[in-house]
Structures are given as structure tokens and as C-alpha cells.
Chain A
Amino acid sequence: MIPATQIDSSSRAAPRTFLRKYIFSTDHKVVGIQYFCLSLFAVFVGMALSWLMRIHLAWDTARIWGLGHLSATGAPGGAMTPEYYLSLLTLHGTIMIFFVLSTAPQNAFGTYFLPIQIGAEESAFPILNGLSFWLTLVALGVLVSTLFVGDGPPISGWTAYPPLSAVGSHAGPGLGTGQNLWIISIGIFCLGSMLSAVNFIVTFIDMRCEGMSLMRLPLTCWAWFITAILVLLSFSVLFAGAVLLLLDRTAGTSFFIPANLLISGTLDPHSGGSPLLWQHVFWFFGHPEVYITILPGFGIVSHLVAGFARKPILGYKVVVGCMLVIGFLSFVVWGHHMFVSGMSPFSGFLFSIPTIIISLPATVTTLLWLGTLWGGRLHFTTAMMFCLAFISTFVTGGLTGIFLAHPALDAYLHATYFVVGHLHLVMGVSAIFAVFAATYYWYPKMFGRMLSERLGMAHFWLTFVGVYCIFMPMLLLGLSGNPRRYAMLTDDFLIPLIPMHRFVTMAALATGAVQFVFVLNLIWSAFQGEPATDNPWKATSLEWTTSSPPPLGNFQDAPTVNHGAYEYCDTLGDRDFVLQSDPREVKA
């Protein structure tokens, strides 16, 4: 541990030029905001793609204004072809999972607040930090470019299963240049993520200030640390897989392609590979990945619920333990994505056991949040409302996962809308709600102004109702056996489900429109928002001991910590909380 007092801050000269201050910055606060803006842009692109998909599903002959200009072959006259639907579906999944859910919770808020919450003046490797952002931005650029090159983005989904993704353009549109660019984008993203993870891990271990022992850390810091370990161990494997897939496509190797494939009348020259090998490699990354998207949310919700209930989090050590167990177990459950893949059914049954068991720490943590609310003095700020909504939607989404954990039930529900509903409830809703909560909570600290609570609450109510209207019906569609990734609903048993699809589409468009209220709030408040004090939420962690926004080096003087992160109580007369750096020996 390098005490902040020993770091020679004069060796780090303040950047003077516009480029060094705001563009190629190594200040973790600037990099955090850059990541936030990247995710904000990406989420609107991802959402727009989902609107296009949902409109097409509900009204499959609809001509969508402007779409023909984006792709004359994909949507002639604005009427989307089935293959273009799949291209948009691939981009939607890839953008949302990588550039929004793996980025905003961890890299936007973690980059900004991990160093400050541990009392450090900067992260361990500022140059790696800045570099990881720029790699992520380049990766996003490469991915979005697939919309404008060749015959468009790949149609193989964000999971890119070979042989479809490996054999080339005669297997379908977008599977030539588009698929190569997709792989390159993912590879660059992996590099950016891994660099950032190294930075987080070293910062957490080495840069804590005087008195900041492990058990005094805010739960957000624990979450970002555990997530960073998951990132390092899983993205490295995805990177390897991406390289192997690219080699199969361009260098004549056959890691994933077996012999005797007849594609569009042409005999494929590859032989000796296994399509299941990709699935093992991909899902070995893919399962920790979903915990990468949700664990920062666990930290954020734990931290904020305690603050807005004015109570210590119930069972701090147990919450830390649960996050560690989830992190560990996340590496031994990947086969539950492969129950019907052709993998040995014995392996399937084996994977289902830890899959069921991993819901134990998740359930305990949820109950501890409920226990924190019990007996609290709840303050219903917008940030708190999104935390409460997180708990609700995480319960719903998590419970639906239990069905999918059983191989026999998965035999019916696999690749249906039940899975789509489940994954969106936990990732597309809960994890995003954690990002919303974090934004409403930390915006004053980052930008020195409060967000409008009126706009915030309008955003909250409409979004909360909207997401249940979108994703609860998907569970019912899945129960009816509605397969996923269908560009059109033409089977006999699907036609009666079209009215439900139309309901979902309208809910999705309405809820999407409401998100502009959020953006409006972000922009308007930057100029007209009420100026923020140092500690508008009367919270305990170290970011609230410094100015809004914090100065270069984060603190005027290096802090010394004497208290845990959740010392809320009302025995102190005028205040009901103890700042972590409060020098007094105060018993909460």
C-alpha cells in the first residue's frame, strides 16, 4: 500500500492544453466521463437497432422511413429483409453487451470513483487507463463501420457460432467483411478491457489511503475489484477465441470447422475442427461476462440503499463474501448455455448443479438488501427509486434463470423468448437501472450540479412500468415456445402470438422515447442544474469529502480513514452519518 501522502504529486504536472486535458487525458476522472459518454452514445445506437427490430417483427411488411438509405440491399424501399433483421440483431447484442453493459457500470463509474473512494489521488496506471478508453472507442468505431461496408454486419448473432461465422460469405450476408470486422472489433475491445482491469486490480490493492483497510471499503470498490478479476480472466479467453476464429476464416486453419461441409452447393475445404470448441471457449468468457455486467450493480445498489435508508448495509462481510463466491462460481457454470448443444448430457447435468448453487449468494444478497430497507428511514430520491427497481427486476430476472438452470426444462425453453426475457430483465433492465441510479447519485459529484428530480422521477416511473410491459410478456411468449432470432413470425403456432408481439413493440417504442427525458436532464442540468455542494446526499464515503467536482489529485490533503463505509446512525445530534475520514472516535 502506497500512502497517498508519499506520492509526489509535483511529478505529475497539470495538463495545460485542451488536447491533454479533455481528449488524450490520463486523469481517471476525465477517462471515466469519456467512458460514460461512449456508453451513452452506444446505448442509443443499440436502442435504435432494437426499435427497428421490434417494428419489423410486429409489422413485417412495414416500410421504415430512412432505412433504405442506410442499406439499399438490406432494406430496399425501407422494407427490412430477414437477413438485415439478423444483421441488426447481431449489432444490437454486441453493442449493448460490450459497449454499454461491460463498460458503463465498470469503466465509467469505476474509473471515476474507485481511486477517489479508496482515497487515492489517481489510479495506478494513468496512461494504461487513457489507452484502454481509446482502444474501446476504436473498437466501437470498427463495429459500427460494419453497417457501412460490404454486405453489412454479420448475421451470426453476438455469439457468432461457427461454422456459420467461420466459413465465409457464401453462408449468408455479412459473413465476409462484416464478420472479420466484428472479430477485430471484439479483439480490440478485449485488449482495452484487460488493460483497464489490470489498472483496477493494482489500484485496489496498492493505492488505498492510510486507514482504508479492506473491511472499511465501500461495497462499490469490492464490486469493481472482483469484476476486474473476472474481466482479466474471461476477456483473455475471448481474445484467444477471436484470434482462432479469425485464423479459421483467413489462414486456412480448422479449429472450429469439421470436414465435409456443403455450403450453398460448395464443398468447404476445412476439416478436423469442432464447432463445440468455440462454444466452450465463448461461454467460458460469456458466463463471467454476465456477472461482469451485474456485479458493479450489486456494489452500487448496496452502497446507495444503505445511504438512502440511513442504515448500515445489513451483513457487509456477507455481501463481500457473496460477491466473491459469485465471481468464483461464474467460471464453472458456462455449460448451462450448452445443455442442448451436443455436449455430453452428463456434463450438462454436472453444470446444472453449480448453476443452481450460484443463485444462493445472489438470493442472500437480495435478502440482505431487503433487510437493509427494513427498519430504515427511506429517502425516495430518483437514485434510490432506481435501486428499488433494480431489486424488483433482478428478482424477476434472476428467478426466471432458475428454470433455465435445469437441463430438462431448458430442453423446452432454450432459444425461446423465455431466454430473451430473462437476459433482458437481468442485463437490459437491472444492470441499466444500476447505471441510472449511479448517474443520478454521482452526477452532482462529477459535474458540480444536481440533476432535476422532477425529470428524474418522470424518467423513473415511465421506465419502470415500461420495462415490465416489454419483458414480462417475453417470458409468456417463450412459454408458448416462440423461438428467438426469428426475423418473421410465420409458423402456424406463432401467428396467434403476433398481437402480444405488437404490444411488446409499442411498449418498447414508448419506453425508448422516455429515455430522451433522461438525456434532456443530463444536458439541461449541466447548465441550469442547482449547484451541488460537497455532500448533497449526506453520504459517508470519501468522494463526498471533496469538492464537486473534485480537484486535480482528488483531495486537497491526502485523507486518513478512521471509519467503515456505512456508519449511519442518529446519535450524533445534528447529523446521522459519520464520514469515513472523520477524525473523531465516533461510535455509530
Chain B
Amino acid sequence: MRLPTGKIFALLLAGITVVSTALFISHHWWMPQAASEHAPVLDAQFNWTLINTGIAFNLAQLLLAAFVWKFRAQNGRRPRTYGNGVSMAIVIAMVFISLELFGAATLGRRAWASMYSTNPSGDVIRVQAMGQQFAFYFRYPGPDGQFGPIHVRKIDPSVANYFGLDPERDPASRDDIVTTSLVLPVNRPVELVLDSQDVIHSFYVRELRVQQDMVPGMHIPMRFTPTKIGTYEIACTQLCGLGHYRMRAKLQVMPEAEFQTWMRAHTKP
């Protein structure tokens, strides 16, 4: 029995297309609910691209399936060429790409810029984050608003001196608050400066829609405003050694009043 190969392929492909589209649309495996100010723009660009590529995906796969179904070699049928085929291909491709360029120039530019270039208004919380094989450490400048200098030779995790501070010599270090969790108040802009002590790490919080490598020798500023109270996971996403999979920290976003209480509790008298 000669199997209708083309038809089976066409049906299989149509099935794969429908199932895949359904899986994406179902949002069962999806980004978690957003928790930062720039997230809506980013999610909007995401949806723009998803719709654009989703239509392209369905059109291309179903056209492939349809052509394979219909144009099996049959006696008596001559091959035909569609005269305007080349122009059509170029026009369709240009429309598709233009939609993506439009998305990039509008939503994309705003989303990207808000993570880096915007000077945040309002009372900015400044925090430093340090990556190390295999933990994240955070530092707040304290009431004097200044970060004390880092002395690499003084770094000693066994006495929790993760930043190599020397409070005796450096007055600015005396009120620095060093933690292993990142604690932030809701709805206030944050400038988080990333650094690394050894190899490249990365700071990734899914709900905040932020990701940035932590590169030794560089101080990389990230800007975002958390908008939802909750506890989130910070994961390392740049391969940093054998403990990469377990390098994580907690981000706690709390109401302003609670944050002030927390700051007071951690400020050295």
C-alpha cells in the first residue's frame, strides 16, 4: 500500500502548528506576573512580537502543509510557476520585518531605555550588588549616603566582611549596611550597581524583567522601580563555576514604612 506521504506530512505539520500555538497562547508556561515599572512596556513589546511571529509561524507552516498536500506529483499535471512569486516573497518579508522594526523603534526603545538611560525621578535608593562564587551580597550606603572604599585584601566571608570594608580607616564605611538579601521599598526608583569579585555572574529577577551581567572590573548601573510587594528570587544566569545552579538570593519588596524600620534596625548607631 502506497502511503500518502505528502498528506501525512501535511496533517502532522498542521497538528504540530496547532498544538504549539495553543501551548503558547494558553500562557501555562509563561513569564510570571510583572513587578516593575518598565515591565508593562517590555511585556507589550513581547506581545507585539509574539503576535507578529505567531501569525508568520502559522502562515508559513500551514502554507508548507497545504503545498505539500496539494502538489504531489500526478500524471498529467505539469509544474507551474507563479509569475509574481519573487515579488510576493520580497514584499511579504519586508512587511514582516517592518513590523518588527516598528516594534523595536517604539516599544523596544522605551523598554530598553527605561532600564539604563532614564534618570529616575524621585528619591532613588542606591544599592551595590557583588557577585562571588557562589553568592550575592548587597550593600547600602547608610545615612551618610556614601559607599566606603573596597579593600580586596580585607574580603573575608568567615567574618561576613564580603565587601572588604575597613571601618576603622574609612569613615564612609562605618555606616554601610551589608546584607545577603536585597530589601527594597515598593514604588521607589532603584539604582543597583553591579560588580563581581571573581568571574562573570549575572543578576536576574524574572518578575522585575531585569537581567544584567556582573563583570569583574566594571561597575554596571541598573535602574528599575519595583511596583509590587512580595518576595522574589534572584538567580545567577551567567555560568560561573560548579555552584552556578545554586547561586541565588532573595529580593524582598516591602512597603515604605516597613523598609524604613528595616533600615533603622540595620543601621549601626
| Interchain CA distance A363-B233 in the complex, whole Å | 38
Q: Is A299 an interface residue (CB 8 A)?
A: no
Shortest CB distance B35–A (Å):
13
A173 contacts which chain B residues (CB < 8 A)? 242
Let me know if B100 and A341 touch, CB within 8 A.
no
| Residue of B23, B45, B93, B239 with highest tally of chain A CB at under 10 A | B239
Let me know if A408 and B9 touch, CB within 8 A.
no
Let me know if B248 and A491 touch, CB within 8 A.
yes
Q: Is A348 an interface residue (CB 8 A)?
A: yes
Let me know if B152 and A262 touch, CB within 8 A.
yes
A367 contacts which chain B residues (CB < 8 A)? 88-89, 92-93
Shortest CB distance B195–A (Å):
10
Let me know if B29 and A263 touch, CB within 8 A.
no
Q: Given the interface contacts A261-B197, A480-B30, A500-B29, does A376 sit within 8 Å of B79 by beta carbon? A: yes
B60 contacts which chain A residues (CB < 8 A)? 366, 370, 395
Q: Is B96 an interface residue (CB 8 A)?
A: yes
| Interchain CA distance A414-B112 in the complex, whole Å | 14
Let me know if A315 and B85 touch, CB within 8 A.
yes
Let me know if A275 and B216 touch, CB within 8 A.
yes
Contact for B101 among A309, A341, A353, A569, CB less than 8 A: A353
B132 contacts which chain A residues (CB < 8 A)? 262
| Interchain CA distance A218-B130 in the complex, whole Å | 56
Contact for B211 among A171, A340, A356, CB less than 8 A: A340
The stretch from A115-123, A287-295, A464-472, A523-531 touching chain B is A464-472
Contact for B199 among A171, A378, A476, A486, CB less than 8 A: A171
Q: Mark B176-194, 1 if CB is under 8 A from A, else 0.
A: 0000000000000000000
Which single residue of chain A is at the shortest CB-CB distance from B237? Answer: A415
Let me know if A415 and B79 touch, CB within 8 A.
no
| Interchain CA distance A472-B12 in the complex, whole Å | 15
B49 contacts which chain A residues (CB < 8 A)? 402-403, 406, 409
Let me know if A82 and B217 touch, CB within 8 A.
no
Let me know if A412 and B209 touch, CB within 8 A.
yes
Contact for A377 among B77, B109, B206, CB less than 8 A: B77
Let me know if A318 and B64 touch, CB within 8 A.
no
Let me know if A364 and B90 touch, CB within 8 A.
yes
| Residue of B52, B82, B93, B94 with highest tally of chain A CB at under 10 A | B93
A388 contacts which chain B residues (CB < 8 A)? 9, 64, 68
Let me know if B235 and A483 touch, CB within 8 A.
yes
Let me know if A353 and B104 touch, CB within 8 A.
yes
Let me know if B29 and A370 touch, CB within 8 A.
no
Q: Given the interface contacts A163-B216, A375-B79, A491-B248, does A395 sit within 8 Å of B89 by beta carbon? A: no
Q: Given the interface contacts A348-B112, A380-B9, A395-B57, does A172 sit within 8 Å of B241 by beta carbon? A: yes
In A296-344, which residues have CB < 8 Å from any B CB?
A: 309-312, 314-315, 318, 340-342
Q: Mark A381-419, 1 if CB is under 8 A from B, else 0.
A: 000010010011001100110110111110110111000
Contact for A407 among B52, B80, B108, B245, CB less than 8 A: B108
Let me know if A488 and B246 touch, CB within 8 A.
yes
Q: Given the interface contacts A356-B100, A406-B45, does A341 sit within 8 Å of B215 by beta carbon? A: yes
Shortest CB distance B181–A (Å):
15
Let me know if B94 and A568 touch, CB within 8 A.
no
Q: Given the interface contacts A406-B49, A414-B211, does A491 sit within 8 Å of B88 by beta carbon? A: no
Q: Given the interface contacts A411-B42, A483-B237, does A311 sit within 8 Å of B81 by beta carbon? A: yes
Q: Is B6 an interface residue (CB 8 A)?
A: yes
A357 contacts which chain B residues (CB < 8 A)? 97, 101
The stretch from A97-105, A153-161, A195-203 touching chain B is A153-161
Let me know if A86 and B242 touch, CB within 8 A.
yes
B74 contacts which chain A residues (CB < 8 A)? 377
In A457-511, which residues have CB < 8 Å from any B CB?
A: 457, 464-465, 468, 472, 475-477, 479-481, 483-493, 497, 500
- Chain B: interface size category: 35 or more
Shortest CB distance B3–A (Å):
8
In B211-246, which residues have CB < 8 Å from any A CB?
A: 211-213, 215-218, 220, 233, 235-246
| Interchain CA distance A261-B215 in the complex, whole Å | 11
Q: Is B204 an interface residue (CB 8 A)?
A: yes
| Residue of A83, A261, A380, A406 with highest tally of chain B CB at under 10 A | A406
Q: Given the interface contacts A86-B242, A406-B45, A408-B108, does A379 sit within 8 Å of B73 by beta carbon? A: yes
Q: Given the interface contacts A164-B200, A481-B31, does A402 sit within 8 Å of B100 by beta carbon? A: yes
| Interchain CA distance A350-B204 in the complex, whole Å | 23
B101 contacts which chain A residues (CB < 8 A)? 353, 356-357
Q: Is B125 an interface residue (CB 8 A)?
A: no
B96 contacts which chain A residues (CB < 8 A)? 363
Q: Is A264 an interface residue (CB 8 A)?
A: yes
Q: Is B128 an interface residue (CB 8 A)?
A: no
Let me know if A411 and B16 touch, CB within 8 A.
no
Q: Is A368 an interface residue (CB 8 A)?
A: yes
Q: Is A206 an interface residue (CB 8 A)?
A: no
Q: Given the interface contacts A366-B60, A406-B45, A407-B108, does A342 sit within 8 Å of B90 by beta carbon? A: no
Let me know if A340 and B117 touch, CB within 8 A.
no
Shortest CB distance B203–A (Å):
9
Q: Mark B7-36, 1 if CB is under 8 A from A, else 0.
A: 001001100100010011000111110000
Shortest CB distance B42–A (Å):
5
| Interchain CA distance A491-B249 in the complex, whole Å | 10
Query: Could you name 5 residue pairs across A and B whose Cβ atoms are closer than 8 Å?
Result: A83-B242, A340-B202, A375-B79, A411-B115, A487-B242
Taking Cβ atoms with an 8 Å cutoff, the residues of B that contact A are: 5-6, 9, 12-13, 16, 20, 23-24, 28-32, 41-42, 45-46, 49-50, 52-53, 56-57, 60-61, 63-64, 67-68, 71-74, 77-82, 85-86, 88-90, 92-94, 96-97, 100-101, 103-104, 107-109, 111-113, 115-117, 132-133, 152-153, 155, 197-200, 202, 204, 206, 209-213, 215-218, 220, 233, 235-246, 248
Beyond the given A310-B73, A378-B71, could you list 7 further A-B residue pairs with CB under 8 A, ordered by the A residue number? A163-B216, A275-B216, A314-B86, A376-B71, A457-B5, A483-B235, A490-B245
Closest 6 CB pairs of A and B: A258-B217, A375-B80, A408-B111, A367-B89, A476-B29, A83-B242
